[in-house]
Amino acid sequence: MKWLNDYRMRLVLVGFVAAMVLGGGSAKADFTFGEPVNLGPPVNTSVADIPKYITADGLEMYLSCYNRPGGHGSWDIWFSMRKTVNDEWGAPVNLGAPVNTGQSDDSAYISPDGLELYFDSNNRPGGYGGWDIWVSRRATKDDPWEQLMNLGPVVNSSSGEALPCFSPDGLELYFTSNRSGGFGDWDIWVSRRATKENPWGEPTNLGPIVNSSASAISTNRVTCLK
């Protein structure tokens, strides 16, 4: 799990810089962050509680939690809600089956309409080996997640595919993989589709400008920030 822990520790800084670049702004050397405030209970516990995604309205936060009491075992996906951005986060709720299992289920990424949940899962029955990317869908935001589906052998392989995210228009899926054809350990890849109704196409490695012989696992969400 070392590569996952390295990724989590650097994600916030990478995301900030990426947001500035993709938003057309420029990062300035004179910015300062405020004093960090621990979210405290009930969000945090004595186990690992890692934020992975906050919805655009700032009212839902998805977390990956390791062996948190009430979960299914190993890494599970949980979510916390609040009524307004000025309110405190509520007690996290486990997404339950079919999303979470006794395997490692991690790295939630929600579509802009809130109806698709992309995540990765390790050695889950029905997968193609190692870490695979899965999607769960729901009819409305008030419905439970269901219709679980593996993204299939074009996106997934017998190697590992993890940490999914996609562009705001939903036509580019970015993820990390240690599949053959890369430049090192875990590289950043992209799969494209013509419309949201089309299947994902053959993944393309982002190439040597982005990827290197080192692991690119920590920068996988750079191109997905709005």
Question: Is 38 a domain residue?
Answer: no
Question: Is 11 a domain residue?
Answer: yes
Domain count, the chain: 1
Domain that holds residue 148: 2-24+49-224
Q: Report CA Rg, the chain.
A: 17
Question: Is 105 a domain residue?
Answer: yes
DSSP 36-97: P----TTT--SS-EEEEEE-TTS-EEEEEEES-TTSSSSEEEEEEE-SSTTSPP---EE--T
pLDDT in tens, 56-83: 889 999 999 999 999 998 999 999 999 9
Question: Is 29 a domain residue?
Answer: no
pLDDT in tens, 149-198: 999 999 999 999 999 998 888 899 999 999 998 887 899 999 999 998 99
Question: Is 34 a domain residue?
Answer: no
Question: Is 40 a domain residue?
Answer: no
This prediction has a pTM of 0.80
- Cα–Cα distance for residue pair 128/114, rounded to 1 Å: 27
Long-range contacts of 23-31 (CB under 8 A, 24+ apart): 23/226
Q: What is the dihedral of CA 45, 47, 48, 54, to 10 degrees?
A: -30
